[in-house]
């Protein structure tokens, strides 16, 4: 309105961002933001940004009030019962009962994981069989006769 110098688009974008964050009422902005934009608030472009932000503020303020009948509030309050304080072990166990229904699934998963882990550990701990022992394990019709001079196993097929 009063000043005819053009305002940079970066400065207008910063003003638009500030108006989006704090609203169209400049009095509600933080003091340092008001000081930053004090020199351009009278410009037409800045006024258009603030009018748009005020329109959005009015729309949001009108939409935030929930419409609930007083009868609904009274019915909710009449149906509410305060929880009883826990006094003993039985009340404690009754309180954790909903969680305990998941216990069988947890035990089953734990046992399965333990089985997989023990199988992997025992399989990796075994030594591989030498060809001689492997032959003895798979061919039951061989009879062990003696060791040769090199320490190898000799057998005869029956």
DSSP secondary structure letter of residue 155: E
The predicted pLDDT at position 1 comes to: 47
The most confident of 5-9, 51-55, 65-69, 138-142, by mean pLDDT: 51-55
The tally of CA atoms less than 13 A away on the side-chain side of residue 91 is 6
The predicted pLDDT at position 136 comes to: 63
pLDDT-based confidence at residue 157 (cuts at 50, 70, 90): low
**pTM over the 0.85 mark:** no
Task: Give the domain ranges of the chain.
Answer: 9-63, 126-158
pLDDT-based confidence at residue 19 (cuts at 50, 70, 90): very high
What is the tens place of the pLDDT at every residue in 78-125? 999 887 777 778 777 777 877 778 888 888 999 999 999 988 888 766
Nearest to 44 by CA among 23, 22, 15: 15
More confident residue, 147 or 24: 24
What is the tens place of the pLDDT at every residue in 37-78? 888 888 889 999 999 999 998 888 887 667 778 888 899 999
């Amino acid at each position: 309105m009063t000043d005819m110098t053009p305002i940079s688009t970066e400065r207008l974008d910063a003003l638009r961002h500030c108006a989006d964050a704090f609203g169209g009422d400049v009095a509600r902005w933080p003091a340092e933001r008001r000081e930053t934009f004090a020199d351009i608030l009278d410009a037409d472009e800045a006024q258009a940004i603030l009018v748009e932000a005020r329109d959005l503020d009015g729309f949001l303020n009108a939409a935030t009030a929930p419409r609930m009948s007083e009868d609904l509030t009274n019915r909710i309050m009449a149906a509410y019962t305060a929880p009883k304080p826990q006094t003993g072990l039985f009340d404690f166990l009754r309180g954790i009962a909903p969680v305990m229904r998941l216990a069988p699934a947890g035990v089953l998963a734990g046992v399965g994981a333990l089985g997989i882990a023990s199988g992997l550990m025992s399989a990796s701990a075994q030594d591989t069989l030498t060809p001689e022992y492997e032959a003895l394990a798979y061919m039951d019709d061989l009879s062990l006769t003696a060791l040769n001079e090199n320490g190898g196993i000799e057998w005869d097929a029956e």
